[in-house]
Structure 1
Amino acid sequence: MGKLERGAGLRSLSAIANSGSSEAGSFAYDEDTLRSLIKKWLELADHYEGSLKRVNLGEVKPPGLDFASERHAKAANSSGKAYMAYLAQNYEYSIQQAQLLQNTLDDYLGVEHHSVADFNKTEVEETGPQAGI
């Protein structure tokens, strides 16, 4: 148990993962922990959103009319657009994680599910703009 066999691949990893004692592991969050985690995910989403609003990558003009200038501008634009997509994807992921935790908290409290998007807008208005990443 706990030993990887060379070349055995995923089967050995699965065997290790499933080789625990007969007791099932578990974890639990209390209400304060859930609220804290929701807040942290929303803060992270705010950072990504702030970065998206501050930068406008992907619109580099070639410095010259030569072939090399055009290629460098094209590469810079491609990289900038990929970075913007990365920021947008991580913003959405952060909001989704906050929403999952909010749903869990609402279920625990026995109340109707609330949207973290509404909660997040209220928080930003109260505290002002957040610094980005």
Structure 2
Amino acid sequence: MWVDESAQNKDKANPASWVEQIGQATNQLGSFAYDEATLTRIADRWQLIADKCDDALGKSDRLTNIVGPGLDPGSNAMAAKANESGHAYVDMMKSMRAYCQAQADHCRKALGTYTEHEDNTAATIGKHNPGEEGGII
């Protein structure tokens, strides 16, 4: 097993130093942020999925209106089970559509907040440097 030489020389009686090192390592992991173009693409993709769910729901009537091929009880039972499955599909599509639409809406809300902050920042910078493009004093 590979062991860092500096780890061999650590004070094993001081667990606080290990906790401190873990905290420092965690802070160095970094973070991520979405830009305007990324948020727009993500919102558009969620919207596309929601729209496809709408299309599927529009074509799902025949999955819930199945009639058995005969008049016997077996045909009626099979048709009832098929219709039950069709209703489950419709319920799943409605749920998926609602979820995807909510995700698209969240992304658009975040995009609005992002652009609002960008506009406020640009306006603030403009106050510091009237007549100049960008830059900070």
TM-score over 0.5 for the pair: yes
Q: Does 1:34 align with 2:56?
A: no
Counterpart in 2 of 1:68? 74
Per-residue CA distance 1:59-106 (angstroms, 9 max, x = gap): 111222222111101110000111111111111111000001111111
Counterpart in 1 of 2:59? 54
Q: Does 1:89 align with 2:104?
A: no
The 5 A counterparts of 1:104-123 are: 104-110=110-116
Q: Does 1:22 align with 2:29?
A: no
Structure 1, gaps ≥5 residues long: 1-18, 112-133
Per-residue CA distance 1:22-45 (angstroms, 9 max, x = gap): 326521000000011111111111
Higher relative contact order (CA 8 A, sep 6+): 1
% same residue: 34
Q: Distance between the aligned counterparts of 2:30 and 2:87, measured in 1?
A: 43
1:82 alignment partner AA? A
Q: Which one has a bigger Cα radius of gyration?
A: 2
Q: Which runs of 4+ in 1 moved over 4 A?
A: none
Root mean square deviation, CA, Å: 1.9
Q: TM-score when scaled to structure 2?
A: 0.62
Query: Which has more helix, going by share of residues?
Result: 2
Structure 2, gaps ≥5 residues long: 1-21, 118-137
